[in-house]
Amino acid sequence: MAYPASKKEEGFTYQDYLSWPDDERWEIIDGQAYNMSPAPSIKHQNIVGNLYVKLKTHPENPCYTGIAPTDVVFDERNVVQPDVFVVCDRDKLKETHVAGAPDVVIEVISPHTEIKDRREKLRLYERFGVQEYVIVYPEREYAEVYRLENGRYHAPEITNWDETLELKTINLKIPLWEIFEKTPPEKPEQES
């Protein structure tokens, strides 16, 4: 049995991945295996759950909303498990995985995954055409939104906890304070 710890010179593939133990979570980016442990924090999981519910229950979202640990298979050398994702082309939905790029991917940063999420996954999602890539920072309570324009991601749009996150691909606005489970910001009093 192939095991991720023993690196293959030519890199790992989806077929290698399928042979690995089920009790471990891995991702493959450009043939490189990344261990998904340790398990995420409670705060991380609450944010993931809150995002999933907002996306799943949005009445104008006709697309499929998924959550980790669902495999997203871009090609034979790129398999990831995004925290939350949206797929509008239902032909990409297979029995065990998503085949191809989601329209929206959301990753909630944890100390163990921050570099990979900000570097390797950013390049991966850009290369395979993910329309919107959102990186959520639980400890700093803000989000970055990268939007694909002419095949490239440009400077991210920053949304702070007291602002509204906009996902243009699915026409959804999410008040971030709800995701972070905070009290809504006070609105300035209007003059009479």
Q: Is 15 left (phi over 0), alpha (psi -120 to 50) or beta?
A: alpha
pLDDT per residue as tens digits for the range 123-152: 999 999 999 999 999 999 999 999 999 999
Q: Which residue has the tokens 């921050």?
A: 114
* CATH code for residues 39-179: 3.90.1570.10
Q: Which residue has the tokens 């790992």?
A: 12
Per-residue pLDDT, 59: 80
Q: pLDDT averaged over the chain?
A: 91
3-state secondary structure of 18: helix
Per-residue pLDDT, 7: 64
Nearest to 47 by CA among 94, 110, 5, 97: 110
Per-residue pLDDT, 187: 65
Bridge partners (DSSP) of residue 152 are 149
Per-residue pLDDT, 2: 39
First vs last C-alpha separation in the chain: 73
Q: Which residues of the chain have pLDDT under 50?
A: 1-3, 5
